[in-house]
Amino acid sequence: MKQGEFIGLEDQFGAHNYKPLDVVLSRGKGVWVWDVDGNKYLDCLAAYSAVNQGHCHPKIMQAMVTQAEKLTLTSRAFRNDQLGPFYKDLCELTNSHKVLPMNSGAEAVETAIKIVRKWGYTVKGVPKDQAEIIVCANNFHGRTISIVSFSTDENARAGFGPFTPGFKCIPFGDAAALEAAITANTVAFLVEPIQGEAGVIIPPEGYLKKAREICDRHNIALILDEIQTGLGRTGKMLAEEYEGIEADLTIIGKALSGGFYPVSAVLSNTEVMNVLQPGEHGSTFGGNPLACAVARAALQVLFDEKMIENSYQQGKYFLNELEKISHPHIKEVRGRGLMLAIEFHPEVGGARAYCNKLKGHGILAKDTHENIVRFAPPLVIQRDEVDMILDAINEVLPH
Ligand SMILES: *Cc1c(COP(=O)(O)O)cnc(C)c1O
Protein backbone atom coordinates (compact mmCIF):
# COMPACT_ATOMS: atom_id res chain seq x y z
CA MET A 1 0.00 0.00 0.00
CA LYS A 2 1.08 3.59 -0.66
CA GLN A 3 1.38 6.24 2.08
CA GLY A 4 -1.78 7.91 0.76
CA GLU A 5 -3.80 4.73 1.17
CA PHE A 6 -2.75 4.30 4.81
CA ILE A 7 -3.66 7.91 5.45
CA GLY A 8 -6.99 7.36 3.70
CA LEU A 9 -7.81 4.43 5.99
CA GLU A 10 -7.07 6.52 9.07
CA ASP A 11 -9.23 9.35 7.79
CA GLN A 12 -12.12 7.10 6.85
CA PHE A 13 -12.26 4.79 9.86
CA GLY A 14 -10.51 6.65 12.68
CA ALA A 15 -11.52 9.45 14.98
CA HIS A 16 -9.96 12.73 13.89
CA ASN A 17 -8.55 13.68 17.28
CA TYR A 18 -5.01 14.17 15.94
CA LYS A 19 -3.53 16.07 13.04
CA PRO A 20 -0.25 14.21 12.43
CA LEU A 21 2.43 15.04 9.90
CA ASP A 22 1.73 12.98 6.80
CA VAL A 23 4.44 10.40 7.22
CA VAL A 24 3.51 6.72 7.67
CA LEU A 25 6.22 4.97 9.67
CA SER A 26 6.79 1.24 9.68
CA ARG A 27 10.19 0.70 11.27
CA GLY A 28 12.49 2.26 13.86
CA LYS A 29 15.96 1.71 15.29
CA GLY A 30 17.75 4.03 17.70
CA VAL A 31 17.18 7.62 16.61
CA TRP A 32 16.04 6.55 13.13
CA VAL A 33 12.62 5.72 11.71
CA TRP A 34 11.62 4.61 8.21
CA ASP A 35 8.37 5.24 6.35
CA VAL A 36 6.52 2.65 4.26
CA ASP A 37 8.35 3.85 1.14
CA GLY A 38 11.72 3.25 2.77
CA ASN A 39 12.57 6.93 3.44
CA LYS A 40 14.70 7.40 6.54
CA TYR A 41 14.17 10.12 9.14
CA LEU A 42 15.85 11.24 12.33
CA ASP A 43 13.15 11.25 15.02
CA CYS A 44 13.28 14.53 16.96
CA LEU A 45 10.14 13.90 18.97
CA ALA A 46 10.82 10.42 20.34
CA ALA A 47 7.08 9.91 20.85
CA TYR A 48 6.91 12.89 23.21
CA SER A 49 9.89 11.48 25.13
CA ALA A 50 8.50 7.96 25.51
CA VAL A 51 11.33 6.60 23.37
CA ASN A 52 14.26 8.11 25.28
CA GLN A 53 16.14 4.81 24.97
CA GLY A 54 15.83 4.83 21.17
CA HIS A 55 13.41 2.89 18.99
CA CYS A 56 13.22 -0.87 19.52
CA HIS A 57 16.07 -1.06 21.99
CA PRO A 58 17.28 -4.70 21.76
CA LYS A 59 17.63 -5.25 25.54
CA ILE A 60 14.16 -3.91 26.31
CA MET A 61 12.78 -5.94 23.42
CA GLN A 62 14.45 -9.07 24.79
CA ALA A 63 13.02 -8.46 28.26
CA MET A 64 9.58 -8.02 26.73
CA VAL A 65 9.75 -11.21 24.68
CA THR A 66 11.18 -13.27 27.55
CA GLN A 67 8.51 -12.09 29.96
CA ALA A 68 5.71 -12.40 27.39
CA GLU A 69 6.54 -16.08 27.05
CA LYS A 70 6.27 -16.62 30.80
CA LEU A 71 3.49 -14.51 32.30
CA THR A 72 1.84 -11.27 31.19
CA LEU A 73 -1.04 -10.46 33.50
CA THR A 74 -2.23 -11.64 36.88
CA SER A 75 -4.12 -8.51 37.97
CA ARG A 76 -3.28 -7.31 41.43
CA ALA A 77 -5.66 -9.88 42.90
CA PHE A 78 -2.58 -12.13 43.00
CA ARG A 79 1.07 -11.27 43.38
CA ASN A 80 3.69 -11.69 40.66
CA ASP A 81 7.45 -12.15 40.75
CA GLN A 82 8.22 -9.02 38.71
CA LEU A 83 6.45 -6.36 40.78
CA GLY A 84 8.65 -6.40 43.90
CA PRO A 85 11.97 -6.22 42.01
CA PHE A 86 10.52 -3.42 39.81
CA TYR A 87 9.55 -1.41 42.92
CA LYS A 88 12.98 -1.89 44.43
CA ASP A 89 14.85 -0.86 41.25
CA LEU A 90 12.67 2.18 40.73
CA CYS A 91 12.95 3.35 44.35
CA GLU A 92 16.71 2.94 44.37
CA LEU A 93 17.20 4.74 41.07
CA THR A 94 14.94 7.66 41.95
CA ASN A 95 15.54 7.94 45.69
CA SER A 96 11.90 7.24 46.39
CA HIS A 97 10.25 5.30 49.20
CA LYS A 98 7.13 3.93 47.58
CA VAL A 99 5.71 3.27 44.12
CA LEU A 100 2.17 3.02 42.78
CA PRO A 101 2.20 1.62 39.23
CA MET A 102 -0.35 2.60 36.58
CA ASN A 103 -0.37 2.56 32.77
CA SER A 104 -0.79 5.92 31.08
CA GLY A 105 0.55 9.26 32.26
CA ALA A 106 -2.93 10.69 32.76
CA GLU A 107 -3.85 7.79 35.04
CA ALA A 108 -0.79 8.44 37.16
CA VAL A 109 -1.71 12.13 37.42
CA GLU A 110 -5.23 11.15 38.49
CA THR A 111 -3.67 8.80 41.03
CA ALA A 112 -1.52 11.56 42.48
CA ILE A 113 -4.56 13.84 42.75
CA LYS A 114 -6.50 11.16 44.63
CA ILE A 115 -3.57 10.52 46.98
CA VAL A 116 -3.07 14.15 47.95
CA ARG A 117 -6.79 14.73 48.42
CA LYS A 118 -6.98 11.75 50.76
CA TRP A 119 -3.82 12.91 52.54
CA GLY A 120 -5.38 16.35 52.94
CA TYR A 121 -8.47 14.93 54.63
CA THR A 122 -6.90 12.21 56.75
CA VAL A 123 -3.55 13.75 57.72
CA LYS A 124 -3.77 17.51 57.24
CA GLY A 125 -7.37 17.76 58.49
CA VAL A 126 -8.98 19.61 55.58
CA PRO A 127 -12.82 19.60 55.87
CA LYS A 128 -14.65 17.05 53.71
CA ASP A 129 -14.70 17.84 49.99
CA GLN A 130 -12.91 21.15 50.43
CA ALA A 131 -9.42 20.15 49.23
CA GLU A 132 -7.75 22.54 46.81
CA ILE A 133 -4.88 21.77 44.46
CA ILE A 134 -2.87 24.59 42.90
CA VAL A 135 -1.80 24.18 39.27
CA CYS A 136 -0.08 26.39 36.67
CA ALA A 137 -1.34 28.19 33.59
CA ASN A 138 -0.44 26.46 30.31
CA ASN A 139 0.01 23.14 32.09
CA PHE A 140 -0.27 19.81 30.34
CA HIS A 141 -1.04 16.84 32.54
CA GLY A 142 -3.18 14.64 30.27
CA ARG A 143 -6.66 14.31 28.83
CA THR A 144 -9.10 12.96 31.40
CA ILE A 145 -12.09 15.04 32.52
CA SER A 146 -10.51 15.96 35.86
CA ILE A 147 -7.21 16.87 34.24
CA VAL A 148 -8.73 19.02 31.49
CA SER A 149 -10.81 20.64 34.23
CA PHE A 150 -7.68 22.54 35.24
CA SER A 151 -6.22 23.04 31.78
CA THR A 152 -6.02 26.61 30.45
CA ASP A 153 -6.02 25.41 26.83
CA GLU A 154 -9.49 26.04 25.40
CA ASN A 155 -8.90 23.36 22.74
CA ALA A 156 -8.46 20.77 25.48
CA ARG A 157 -11.56 21.90 27.41
CA ALA A 158 -14.21 23.33 25.14
CA GLY A 159 -17.27 21.09 24.98
CA PHE A 160 -16.20 18.73 27.76
CA GLY A 161 -17.81 20.28 30.82
CA PRO A 162 -19.05 20.06 33.53
CA PHE A 163 -15.62 20.11 35.09
CA THR A 164 -14.15 18.78 38.31
CA PRO A 165 -13.86 21.46 41.01
CA GLY A 166 -11.04 21.89 43.50
CA PHE A 167 -8.26 23.39 41.35
CA LYS A 168 -6.77 26.85 41.39
CA CYS A 169 -4.58 28.15 38.59
CA ILE A 170 -1.57 30.48 38.98
CA PRO A 171 1.09 31.70 36.54
CA PHE A 172 3.98 29.29 35.92
CA GLY A 173 7.37 30.26 37.31
CA ASP A 174 5.98 32.69 39.88
CA ALA A 175 6.72 31.56 43.45
CA ALA A 176 5.02 34.60 44.99
CA ALA A 177 1.79 33.66 43.18
CA LEU A 178 2.02 30.19 44.71
CA GLU A 179 2.33 31.56 48.22
CA ALA A 180 -0.55 33.99 47.62
CA ALA A 181 -2.87 31.25 46.32
CA ILE A 182 -2.52 29.01 49.37
CA THR A 183 -5.44 28.66 51.78
CA ALA A 184 -6.04 26.42 54.78
CA ASN A 185 -7.63 23.92 52.38
CA THR A 186 -4.71 23.68 49.96
CA VAL A 187 -3.37 20.13 49.85
CA ALA A 188 -0.93 20.21 46.96
CA PHE A 189 0.88 22.12 44.25
CA LEU A 190 1.06 20.21 40.95
CA VAL A 191 3.63 21.44 38.44
CA GLU A 192 5.86 20.38 35.55
CA PRO A 193 9.55 21.17 36.22
CA ILE A 194 9.72 22.36 32.59
CA GLN A 195 6.45 22.83 30.71
CA GLY A 196 6.75 20.49 27.73
CA GLU A 197 3.57 20.84 25.70
CA ALA A 198 3.48 24.58 26.40
CA GLY A 199 6.67 24.77 24.33
CA VAL A 200 9.58 23.82 26.58
CA ILE A 201 9.04 26.66 29.04
CA ILE A 202 11.87 26.72 31.59
CA PRO A 203 11.02 28.51 34.86
CA PRO A 204 13.42 30.99 36.51
CA GLU A 205 16.30 29.39 38.35
CA GLY A 206 15.43 28.61 41.96
CA TYR A 207 11.69 28.34 41.25
CA LEU A 208 11.30 24.70 42.28
CA LYS A 209 13.47 25.23 45.32
CA LYS A 210 11.26 28.11 46.41
CA ALA A 211 8.16 26.06 45.68
CA ARG A 212 9.57 23.26 47.84
CA GLU A 213 10.23 25.70 50.67
CA ILE A 214 6.75 27.25 50.41
CA CYS A 215 5.07 23.82 50.35
CA ASP A 216 7.04 22.77 53.44
CA ARG A 217 6.13 25.94 55.31
CA HIS A 218 2.40 25.53 54.58
CA ASN A 219 2.28 21.74 54.91
CA ILE A 220 1.38 21.18 51.28
CA ALA A 221 2.45 18.26 49.09
CA LEU A 222 4.64 19.16 46.13
CA ILE A 223 3.73 17.04 43.10
CA LEU A 224 6.13 17.14 40.17
CA ASP A 225 4.82 15.86 36.86
CA GLU A 226 8.04 14.44 35.38
CA ILE A 227 6.27 12.33 32.78
CA GLN A 228 8.12 14.23 30.06
CA THR A 229 11.10 15.74 31.93
CA GLY A 230 11.97 12.57 33.85
CA LEU A 231 14.15 9.58 33.00
CA GLY A 232 17.06 11.47 31.53
CA ARG A 233 15.30 13.82 29.16
CA THR A 234 16.75 17.00 30.71
CA GLY A 235 20.21 15.52 31.35
CA LYS A 236 19.47 14.25 34.86
CA MET A 237 17.45 11.22 35.96
CA LEU A 238 14.78 13.63 37.25
CA ALA A 239 14.63 17.35 36.47
CA GLU A 240 14.13 18.11 40.19
CA GLU A 241 17.83 17.25 40.67
CA TYR A 242 18.79 20.55 39.02
CA GLU A 243 17.43 22.32 42.09
CA GLY A 244 18.48 19.73 44.63
CA ILE A 245 14.95 19.10 45.86
CA GLU A 246 12.68 16.11 46.34
CA ALA A 247 8.99 16.22 45.57
CA ASP A 248 6.47 14.50 47.85
CA LEU A 249 5.02 12.84 44.78
CA THR A 250 6.78 12.45 41.45
CA ILE A 251 4.84 11.25 38.44
CA ILE A 252 6.67 9.39 35.68
CA GLY A 253 5.50 7.55 32.57
CA LYS A 254 6.42 7.72 28.90
CA ALA A 255 10.07 6.52 28.82
CA LEU A 256 9.49 4.23 31.80
CA SER A 257 8.91 1.51 29.21
CA GLY A 258 11.20 2.83 26.48
CA GLY A 259 8.19 3.05 24.22
CA PHE A 260 7.27 -0.61 24.28
CA TYR A 261 4.23 -0.55 26.46
CA PRO A 262 2.28 1.97 28.55
CA VAL A 263 3.81 2.06 32.02
CA SER A 264 3.50 4.94 34.48
CA ALA A 265 4.06 5.33 38.20
CA VAL A 266 3.59 7.64 41.13
CA LEU A 267 6.70 7.82 43.30
CA SER A 268 6.17 8.96 46.85
CA ASN A 269 7.61 9.45 50.23
CA THR A 270 6.12 7.09 52.78
CA GLU A 271 3.74 9.40 54.64
CA VAL A 272 1.72 10.56 51.65
CA MET A 273 1.48 7.17 49.92
CA ASN A 274 0.44 5.43 53.12
CA VAL A 275 -3.01 7.06 53.11
CA LEU A 276 -4.21 4.57 50.50
CA GLN A 277 -5.89 1.46 51.86
CA PRO A 278 -6.74 -1.77 50.00
CA GLY A 279 -9.62 -1.30 47.59
CA GLU A 280 -9.35 2.48 47.36
CA HIS A 281 -7.48 2.66 44.07
CA GLY A 282 -6.15 0.36 41.37
CA SER A 283 -5.93 -0.72 37.76
CA THR A 284 -6.27 -4.13 36.13
CA PHE A 285 -3.07 -3.69 34.12
CA GLY A 286 -1.17 -1.52 36.59
CA GLY A 287 1.91 -3.37 37.86
CA ASN A 288 1.46 -6.34 35.57
CA PRO A 289 4.49 -8.62 35.14
CA LEU A 290 5.05 -7.73 31.48
CA ALA A 291 5.05 -4.00 32.28
CA CYS A 292 7.38 -4.52 35.24
CA ALA A 293 9.89 -6.57 33.25
CA VAL A 294 9.87 -4.05 30.40
CA ALA A 295 10.21 -1.09 32.77
CA ARG A 296 13.10 -2.68 34.66
CA ALA A 297 15.00 -3.18 31.40
CA ALA A 298 14.10 0.33 30.22
CA LEU A 299 15.52 1.79 33.46
CA GLN A 300 18.59 -0.43 33.35
CA VAL A 301 19.71 0.60 29.87
CA LEU A 302 19.37 4.30 30.73
CA PHE A 303 22.17 3.79 33.24
CA ASP A 304 24.19 0.99 31.64
CA GLU A 305 24.49 2.87 28.38
CA LYS A 306 25.02 6.26 30.02
CA MET A 307 22.07 7.79 28.22
CA ILE A 308 21.47 10.39 30.92
CA GLU A 309 25.03 11.74 30.67
CA ASN A 310 24.72 11.65 26.89
CA SER A 311 21.52 13.66 27.11
CA TYR A 312 23.35 16.25 29.21
CA GLN A 313 26.37 16.45 26.87
CA GLN A 314 24.60 16.37 23.52
CA GLY A 315 21.93 18.73 24.83
CA LYS A 316 24.56 21.24 25.91
CA TYR A 317 26.18 21.11 22.47
CA PHE A 318 22.82 21.27 20.67
CA LEU A 319 21.70 24.36 22.62
CA ASN A 320 25.06 26.03 22.19
CA GLU A 321 24.86 25.56 18.43
CA LEU A 322 21.23 26.70 18.29
CA GLU A 323 22.24 29.87 20.10
CA LYS A 324 24.71 30.64 17.31
CA ILE A 325 21.92 30.80 14.74
CA SER A 326 20.94 34.36 14.15
CA HIS A 327 17.79 34.75 12.10
CA PRO A 328 15.17 37.52 12.11
CA HIS A 329 12.31 35.01 12.45
CA ILE A 330 13.69 33.40 15.63
CA LYS A 331 12.52 34.95 18.88
CA GLU A 332 14.31 32.57 21.22
CA VAL A 333 15.98 29.19 21.46
CA ARG A 334 15.98 27.32 24.75
CA GLY A 335 16.53 23.90 26.22
CA ARG A 336 17.81 21.70 28.97
CA GLY A 337 19.38 18.36 28.16
CA LEU A 338 17.72 17.00 25.04
CA MET A 339 14.50 18.95 25.55
CA LEU A 340 14.91 21.94 23.27
CA ALA A 341 12.80 24.39 21.29
CA ILE A 342 12.99 27.14 18.73
CA GLU A 343 10.38 29.84 19.19
CA PHE A 344 9.60 31.99 16.16
CA HIS A 345 8.18 35.47 16.49
CA PRO A 346 4.40 35.13 16.84
CA GLU A 347 3.74 37.25 13.74
CA VAL A 348 5.93 34.86 11.72
CA GLY A 349 4.33 31.69 13.14
CA GLY A 350 4.60 28.89 10.62
CA ALA A 351 5.85 26.18 12.98
CA ARG A 352 3.86 23.50 11.15
CA ALA A 353 5.15 24.59 7.75
CA TYR A 354 8.65 24.58 9.20
CA CYS A 355 8.19 20.99 10.44
CA ASN A 356 6.96 19.93 7.02
CA LYS A 357 10.10 21.41 5.47
CA LEU A 358 12.28 19.64 8.04
CA LYS A 359 10.55 16.41 7.06
CA GLY A 360 11.73 17.04 3.51
CA HIS A 361 15.26 17.12 4.93
CA GLY A 362 14.85 13.86 6.83
CA ILE A 363 14.08 15.34 10.25
CA LEU A 364 10.82 14.63 12.08
CA ALA A 365 9.96 17.34 14.59
CA LYS A 366 6.64 18.50 15.95
CA ASP A 367 5.23 21.98 16.22
CA THR A 368 3.66 23.01 19.49
CA HIS A 369 1.42 26.07 19.20
CA GLU A 370 1.74 28.11 16.00
CA ASN A 371 5.27 29.34 16.53
CA ILE A 372 7.29 26.78 18.51
CA VAL A 373 9.16 23.71 17.27
CA ARG A 374 10.40 21.21 19.83
CA PHE A 375 13.50 19.06 19.43
CA ALA A 376 13.61 16.03 21.71
CA PRO A 377 15.42 13.15 20.01
CA PRO A 378 16.12 9.80 21.69
CA LEU A 379 18.87 10.11 24.30
CA VAL A 380 21.15 7.78 22.32
CA ILE A 381 21.78 10.48 19.72
CA GLN A 382 25.42 11.08 18.75
CA ARG A 383 27.23 14.30 17.87
CA ASP A 384 27.17 13.76 14.09
CA GLU A 385 23.42 13.18 14.26
CA VAL A 386 22.92 16.40 16.23
CA ASP A 387 24.90 18.10 13.47
CA MET A 388 22.52 16.65 10.87
CA ILE A 389 19.60 18.22 12.72
CA LEU A 390 21.41 21.54 12.98
CA ASP A 391 22.23 21.50 9.26
CA ALA A 392 18.59 20.85 8.42
CA ILE A 393 17.42 23.57 10.81
CA ASN A 394 19.69 26.05 9.05
CA GLU A 395 18.77 24.91 5.57
CA VAL A 396 15.02 25.29 6.01
CA LEU A 397 15.13 28.72 7.63
CA PRO A 398 13.98 31.15 4.93
CA HIS A 399 16.94 32.93 3.28
C1 LIG B 1 2.42 13.15 28.06
C2 LIG B 1 2.22 13.83 29.36
C3 LIG B 1 1.15 13.47 30.20
C4 LIG B 1 0.09 12.47 29.81
O5 LIG B 1 0.58 11.21 29.55
P6 LIG B 1 -0.33 10.14 28.74
O7 LIG B 1 0.45 8.87 28.80
O8 LIG B 1 -0.46 10.68 27.34
O9 LIG B 1 -1.63 10.07 29.43
C10 LIG B 1 1.06 14.12 31.42
N11 LIG B 1 1.97 15.04 31.79
C12 LIG B 1 2.98 15.42 31.01
C13 LIG B 1 3.95 16.44 31.49
C14 LIG B 1 3.15 14.84 29.76
O15 LIG B 1 4.14 15.23 28.95
Structural domain count, the chain? 2
Looking at the predicted structure, is the pLDDT value of residue 77 above 90?
yes
Whether residues 149 and 273 fall in one domain? yes
Whether residues 96 and 245 fall in one domain? yes
Whether residues 172 and 271 fall in one domain? yes
Whether residues 133 and 229 fall in one domain? yes
pLDDT tens digit string along 132-144?
A: 999 999 999 999 9
Looking at the predicted structure, is the pLDDT value of residue 7 above 90?
yes
In the DSSP assignment, the letter for residue 122 is: I
Whether residues 117 and 73 fall in one domain? yes
Whether residues 163 and 202 fall in one domain? yes
Whether residues 293 and 319 fall in one domain? no
Residue nearest to atom 8 of ligand 1 (CA): 105
CATH number of the domain within which 19 lies: 3.90.1150.10
* Ligand 1 pocket by Cβ (under 6 Å): 48, 104-106, 109, 140-142, 192, 196, 225, 227-228, 253-254
User: Which one is catalytic: 174, 225, 248, 367?
Assistant: 225
pLDDT for the residue 399: 81
Residue at a domain's end among 304, 338, 362: 304
pLDDT tens digit string along 208-229?
A: 999 999 999 999 999 999 999 9
User: Which one is catalytic: 86, 140, 172, 375?
Assistant: 140
pLDDT tens digit string along 152-183?
A: 999 999 999 999 999 999 999 999 999 999 99
pLDDT for the residue 134: 99
pLDDT for the residue 270: 79
Whether residues 365 and 248 fall in one domain? no
pLDDT tens digit string along 144-156?
A: 999 999 999 999 9
Whether residues 40 and 154 fall in one domain? no
Does 366 qualify as catalytic in the annotation? no
pLDDT for the residue 381: 98
| Pocket test residue of 17, 228, 256 for ligand 1, highest count of atoms within 8 A of CB | 228
State phi, psi for 301 to the nearest 5 degrees.
-70, -25
pLDDT tens digit string along 303-345?
A: 999 999 999 999 999 999 999 999 999 999 999 999 999 999 9
Q: Report the separation in Å between the CA atom of 231 and the middle of ligand 1, taken as the mean of its atom positions.
A: 14
Looking at the predicted structure, is the pLDDT value of residue 97 above 90?
yes
Whether residues 158 and 279 fall in one domain? yes
CATH number of the domain within which 207 lies: 3.40.640.10
| Pocket test residue of 52, 102, 140 for ligand 1, highest count of atoms within 8 A of CB | 140
The pLDDT confidence band at residue 244, using thresholds 50, 70 and 90, is very high
Print the domain residue range for 41. Answer: 3-57+306-396
Residue at a domain's end among 245, 269, 304: 304
pLDDT for the residue 167: 98
Whether residues 108 and 126 fall in one domain? yes
Name every residue whose Cβ is closer than 8 Å to that of residue 338 and which is 6 or more positions away in sequence: 233, 234, 235, 311, 314, 315, 318, 375, 376, 377, 379, 381
The pLDDT confidence band at residue 398, using thresholds 50, 70 and 90, is confident
Residue at a domain's end among 304, 336, 357: 304
Q: Which atom of ligand 1 is nearest to the CA of 254?
A: 7
Q: Report the separation in Å between the CA atom of 194 and the middle of ligand 1, taken as the mean of its atom positions.
A: 13
Whether residues 79 and 211 fall in one domain? yes
Closest C-alpha among 71, 101, 76, 107 to residue 86 = 101
Does 167 qualify as catalytic in the annotation? no
Does 140 qualify as catalytic in the annotation? yes
